[in-house]
Amino acid sequence: MRVLVTGASGFVGRAVTDVLNSRGFDAIGVSRIERSDPGRAAMRVLSDPGNVAEVRELLSHAQPQIIMHLAGVTSASSNRALYDANVVFAANLMDAALTMTHRPRVLLAGSAAEYGPVPTELLPVREDFACRPNTPYGASKLAQTNHAFMVAERGLSLVVARLFNPIGPGMPKSLALGSFAQQIAQMDARGAVLTTGDLDVVRDFMDVRIAAELLVELALNSTSHAEVVNVCTGHGRRLLELTHKLIEISGVPVRLQRDDARRGNSDVRAFVGDPSKLKSMGLNPDGSDMDAVLKAILQDARDEIRAT
């Protein structure tokens, strides 16, 4: 089976293509530039995701049975650039899929940010919660979801996988644990100060490798014509506790120093998803060994520094 993966060179995309390759699928990644090291997937160049004709030509040549649209950005220089990356590309991809003789099934990577703030008494949040995103990123991802359901009415089968907080080796340095691992990896045996933002927050963290397995399963086996599914564990973990564990694993003396200028994409104190729908489909989101994941994140950061 041929699977087209946008964002294949990104954090989640690399994990997904690993899963696809391990299962013997024909994985085709999409890149905006020619790559000399395609790595986990054969690559196709899409120089302008905003060009409908080019997107259609890509699908016509690739003829995928499944499209896993994982490309996107969490921030951009302008709202227009954000919507181009998170809405226009997806819209063009879905429109192109509709023109194919044998229409592929589409999985879109959504985001927990689509929900916006959720009252504590309504956590863990379910898919039927009324979305009111409070960040440009969340609004753009919800726009992608809304467009997807409109396209589904025209005959495209799709699933929106609302990802919560995947973590693992190779995670972006713009995310808290990725940044902390990079800072610690640069320290010598004497240790140093680790600069953080607010650590007193609770999130639904998941090993990216488990998230990738779930995404592939949803793309292959979701039977609904169009639906949203939370990809989450249902278990909240405090960022402070994971940070202390990361420091313990490092084996170096680290002092925490809070910098209020370091802010994430959301001021929400606690955010946890309800995986009931995922589990009703026979999919198990449990099994993230956080000690092992944190060790892998730190080792990856150290390996990267040694290589430079």
Q: Which domains does the chain have, with CATH numbers?
A: 2-166+206-231 (3.40.50.720), 168-203+235-307 (3.90.25.10)
Reported as a single tens digit per residue, the pLDDT across 36-94 is 554 567 889 899 999 999 999 999 999 999 999 999 999 999 999 999 999 999 999 99
Mean pLDDT across the chain: 94
For residue 210, the one-letter residue type is I
> Distance (Å, rounded) from C-alpha 177 to C-alpha 288?
15
**All residues at 6 or more sequence positions from 99 whose CB lies less than 8 Å from its CB, including other chains:** 56, 59
Token match 């979305």: residue?
Answer: 131
pLDDT at 266: 57
Residues 248, 290 contacting (CB under 8 angstroms): no
Residues 190, 34 contacting (CB under 8 angstroms): no
Token match 């990802």: residue?
Answer: 163
Please give the DSSP secondary-structure letter assigned to residue 125.
B
> Distance (Å, rounded) from C-alpha 280 to C-alpha 246?
34
Q: Cα torsion at 140, 141, 146, 150 (round to 10°)?
A: 100
Residue 49: which of 11, 95, 16, 18 has the closest Cα?
95
What average pLDDT does range 107-113 have in this prediction?
A: 98
User: 12 in helix, strand or coil?
Assistant: helix
Q: Which letter, b or e, does each residue of 56-74 get, where b requires 16 or more Cβ atoms within 10 Å of its Cβ?
A: bebbeebebbbbbbbbbeb
Which backbone phi and psi does 47 adopt, to 5 degrees? -70, -30
> Distance (Å, rounded) from C-alpha 14 to C-alpha 166?
13
Token match 């060179």: residue?
Answer: 9
The tokens describing 75, both together, are: 């921030």
- Burial class of residue 239 (count of CB atoms within 10 Å of its CB; 0-12, 13-18, 19+): buried
> Distance (Å, rounded) from C-alpha 67 to C-alpha 16?
12
pLDDT at 104: 97
Neighbours of 47 (CB within 10 A): 10
The tokens describing 274, both together, are: 């309800």
| H helix runs in 43-107, sequence order | 52-62, 79-83, 89-98
pLDDT at 268: 77
pLDDT at 265: 54
Reported as a single tens digit per residue, the pLDDT across 165-178 is 999 999 999 999 99
> What predicted TM-score, i.e. pTM, was given to this entire model?
0.94
When pLDDT is cut at 50, 70 and 90, the band that residue 32 belongs to is confident
pLDDT at 222: 83
When pLDDT is cut at 50, 70 and 90, the band that residue 308 belongs to is confident
pLDDT at 267: 66
pLDDT at 118: 96
